[in-house]
Amino acid sequence: MSNEKKYILAVPNFSEGRREEVVEAIVDQARNIDGVKLISYEPEHDFNRTVVTLIGEPKPLKKALINLASKSYELINMEEQSGTHPRIGAQDTIPIFPFKNITLEECVKYIEELAVELYEKCQVPLYFSGQNARCEERKALSFIRKGQYEGLKEVCHTDERKPDMGPAKLHPTAGATILSADLEGLTAYNVFLDTENLQIAKKIAKGVRGPSGGFSTVRAVGIKFPEREGVVVSMNMFDCGKTPLYRTFNFVKQEAARYGVAVTGSEIVGPVKLDYLLNSLEYLLGFENFNREQILETHLMD
């Protein structure tokens, strides 16, 4: 394995999804870098956030992530930014995951090295989450983001909330960035409801998310996308192996029926692992003794 190329999956998120010229200028920082493939980027107007998906070899990927964050810091002013998605900084998060021929332990070390280089270049305070968290509470993004940019700005001087790298204050325009390594990344999944009643979507989201008694690996909100009819139960699914897509879909469908509301469809935002689709397919079609080697295309993937 030592001679095989290593690949990391990175899903950096920055706090801009409305100004097309800004989104393109930031994403451009990850284009045309040998050893890095830009898989997708997903600007979302209501969230005012863009999720970028990259796969790359460690060294060139580090260059892409630092360049992308630098441009986010340059072009996004958190004093002016607003949106429905929780955030604390212009380059809000930089999560990475082992993809091929690399271990989680190597990714944890990689984040530590990336953080040093990023801070030395940009002087934006950094927090560590996931497997890099300095304490148990900071493994959860929700703990670090409590109060969002505006609230964190007021309390980040305290021992409980101060950054892990940099001074005990936020950058005046760029805020702060959360870096992490984990074994599994999140899957963004939306289920659409045939109603304009946002309260129904919010009630269902409360039922599906872990902190309020739902699925432990799911976080959810009820929102309205201005560009389409109906409302949405929008979910971040952190482990689709433990909690498959079909399970949350069926839950939302069942809860919506209580209110006399139909589910009109669902949507995966950005890339998704093949295994996460297969486990739902096996359930929905009742496959027996099925294995991925039966899919012809998988024999071309190595």
In this prediction, residues 178-193 reach a mean pLDDT of 90
Judge contact between 132 and 179, C-beta under 8 A.
Answer: yes
Asked if CATH classification 3.50.50.60 holds for the domain at 7-181, the reply, yes or no, is no
**Separation between Cα atoms, residue 177 and residue 26, nearest integer Å:** 15
* Structure confidence at residue 1 (pLDDT): 44
**Residue 74 backbone phi and psi in degrees, to 5:** -70, -40
pLDDT of residue 2: 57
Report, as residue numbers or ranges, the catalytic residues.
85
Which pLDDT value is given to residue 271?
A: 77
Q: What is the pLDDT of residues 88-140, one digit of tens each?
A: 999 999 999 998 899 999 999 999 999 999 999 999 999 999 999 999 999 98
* Mean pLDDT value of segment 237-246: 91
pTM for this model (two decimals): 0.78
Closest CA to 227 of 92, 45, 51, 62: 45
Question: 21 falls in which pLDDT band (50, 70, 90)?
Answer: very high
Over range 187-214, report the average pLDDT. 93
The answer to whether 231 and 197 are in contact (CB under 8 A) is yes
291: confidence class by pLDDT, cuts 50, 70, 90? confident
pLDDT at 207 over 80: yes
What are the tens digits of pLDDT across the range 262-278? 999 999 987 788 889 99
Residue 84 is predicted with a pLDDT of 86
Q: List pLDDT tens digits, range 39-48.
A: 889 898 888 9
Is the fold of 7-181 the same as that of 187-296? Answer: no
Q: Which helix (H) or strand (E) holds 109?
A: helix 104-122
Structural domain spans, the chain:
7-181, 187-296
pLDDT for 301? 59
- Tell whether domain 187-296 is in CATH 3.30.200.20: no
